[in-house]
Amino acid sequence: MNFDIKNTPGYFAVRAERFPLFGLADYLYNIFLYFFAASWFLVPAAYFGYILIFSAIKIMAVFFILFLFFWELSLFLNLKIKKQRTAIRLSEAVLNPDNFNLADFLNPDAVKIVEEARRFCRKRKISEISQEALLYGALKINKDIQLISKRLGMDILKLQSDLKNYLEKLEKRKNFSEQFSDAFKETMEEAMVVADERKRNDIG
């Protein structure tokens, strides 16, 4: 199975989201929308002479322009960059997984989980990235996985701690080399099959 997460659509989306302008766009467009709404109170203030009407209009225009700017950035990130997918159909990869890079089919949320697993293993020089590291990454950063785990009655903090202790006892290497365990690859292939059965063209 080929699995190279770099130079994939999902990886590009994650990198773009980490760029400050894109990363803060959702937050900032809401902030400036509230500021624009609040600035309407300047109209009666200008009417009663507390502020110049020109100044009131200028402030309102600035907030509105900033709101539009960050709203457009947010839309571009969420509807364009994050929605980019490989042109290859997932159903083709299911039939011949060895001929495709399965990381091409990961959506941005799945990429973040794999990246967290890679980061953990690299930091501790663990010999290979395992499915346990993948689960640890999912529990640590993915809110949907955390919610599902809570509904199943799991103690997330204890599970994370147990996984961390288990992973830290695995074989170490002096220099980290990005290798994925057989169990990790099997997990990716199973996720691919499930996604295809659900008529999706991405994994995550």
pLDDT in tens, 20-75: 888 889 999 999 999 999 988 888 877 777 777 888 888 999 999 999 999 999 99
Domain limits, the chain: 14-81, 88-197
pLDDT at 113: 93
pLDDT at 110: 92
pLDDT at 84: 80
pTM higher than the cut 0.85: no
Span of 41-45, 174-178, 190-194, 198-202 with lowest mean pLDDT: 174-178
Angle (nearest 5°) at CA 144 between 95 and 84: 50
Give per-residue burial for 67-83: e unless 16+ CB within 10 Å, then b: beebbebbeebbeebbe
Q: What percent of the chain has pLDDT over 70?
A: 98
Mean pLDDT score of the chain, rounded to an integer? Answer: 87
CATH of 88-197, one of 1.10.3720.10, 1.10.150.120, 1.10.1780.10, 3.20.10.10: 1.10.1780.10
Q: What percent of the chain has pLDDT over 90?
A: 22
pLDDT at 37: 93
DSSP letter, residue 97: G
Taking the C-alpha atoms of residue 75 and residue 68, their distance in angstroms, rounded to an integer, is: 10
**How many helical (H) and strand (E) elements, i.e. helices and strands, does the chain have?**
11, 0
Span of 84-88, 174-178, 194-198 with lowest mean pLDDT: 174-178
